[in-house]
Structure 1
Amino acid sequence: MQEDDDNQNLVLGILFGIIALVVGLVIGLSVYVTGQNRAPAPVAAVVAEEPEIAEVGEPLVKFYFESGKAELPAGAPDELAKVIAKLNEDPSKLVLLSGYHDETGGAAVNAEVAKDRAVAVKDALVAAGLAADKVKMRKPAVTLGGADPAEARRVEVRVQ
């Protein structure tokens, strides 16, 4: 008799355990699916993705930056004037900025620094009188820079 009670208790324990697992699985899946359908949290600033613009020809000017910095280098006003003069020759063209970074450091940080450099050039062009909608930016690119490490920390400017 005792053995039958022990077997029955064992079977009931296993059965309740399986039921608890199934209930937990159903609740977990419903929470997961509900979480997937929620709208993402709002972000402070959303950057609209523009279609990638191909680079055409050689860059008109190149700005070389210090490692980890996004401040425009000395001589930038003269280079900016070249870009504005070239665009004034044919106002139907656009200015394309391409930021580069080397492989040192973290990829996300490098991409952000390259972007900040391109934004600094864009802001300087706009401050010099160029319409903001005439300046387009490409996604940051990795480069080894050749013999000169500064080549990897540059922003190229094309008028195309």
Structure 2
Amino acid sequence: MDRLDRKILRLLQEDSTIAVADIAKKVGLSTTPCWRRIQKLEEEGVIDRRVAILNPEKVNARVTVFVSIRTNSHSTEWLRRFAEVIVQFPEVVEFYRMSGDVDYLLRVVVPDIPAYDAFYKRLIEKIEIRDVSSTFAMEQIKFTTEMPLDYLPVDK
């Protein structure tokens, strides 16, 4: 991956709908070589997918809740069942297995507190959990889907 690839990735992270001709112009390439580079980045899985990022206010997902989960079970089978349950909830937009005091962390988006309460009740009905702790975001200070590119090795 060279400096041109990194420039292309930066531009696509800012706006995935940008025309290849515009990218080419901004990075100093002609259109065809630029398109080939983008195709290669897609084939190699560097570009995972291109998506539209929705405005939470406009889609009535105003409340962000970070849900910390602790469990007594740490078996592979329990995790498999737990993951199957969690991925069924459209409100869960991120799901992590953690180190430390918390076993799992979910980021949940809902319209309001009653919607979160309904989510919580559905969750604890579906699988046994030792402890659930919810933290509500008061204000979003930073949100980005852009990955830092400064750590990529650069070919000369």
Q: Do both share a fold (TM > 0.5)?
A: no
Q: TM-score, normalised by structure 1?
A: 0.26
TM-score, with length taken from structure 2: 0.26
Q: Which has the larger radius of gyration?
A: 1
Greater fraction of residues in helix: 1
